[in-house]
Amino acid sequence: MQQISPLELADWLADKSRGQPVLLDVREPWEYELCHVAESIHLPMQQVPSRLAELDPDRDVVVICHHGMRSMQVGLFLEHSGFSAIYNLVGGVEGWARDVEPNMNRY
């Protein structure tokens, strides 16, 4: 699993010539409702194993949580499940709000 900073992810998303990743937000529903990265897919951590078939193992997947710990656990699970291009958003949505989208709600 690779680590990606909020600024690196922002650059990737801005580069439309580059294939866009799946942004997988694994936080709880209340967290996602409060704030999330645009275009992210909400799939709470505990639902990932039962809903794995909804994800494409051949796509780049950036896993997002609040600070980067839950997303790292989900990323490792995805890798062990055959996904080949997993990125953990370092600092999570908190880092995104701090470095990329300062007007985003924070908690």
Whole-angstrom Cα distance, residue 49 to residue 9? 25
- Among candidate residues 65, 72, 78, 93, the one labeled active-site is 65
Q: For the whole model, what pTM was predicted?
A: 0.96
- To the query of whether residue 65 is one of the catalytic residues in this protein, the response is yes
Mean pLDDT over each residue of the chain, to the nearest integer = 97
Please report, for the chain, the start and end positions of each structural domain, with discontinuous segments joined by +: 2-55+63-99
pLDDT tens digits along 15-51: 999 999 999 999 999 999 999 999 999 999 999 999 9
pLDDT at res. 18: 94
pLDDT tens digits along 84-96: 999 999 999 999 9
CATH code reported for the domain at 2-55+63-99: 3.40.250.10
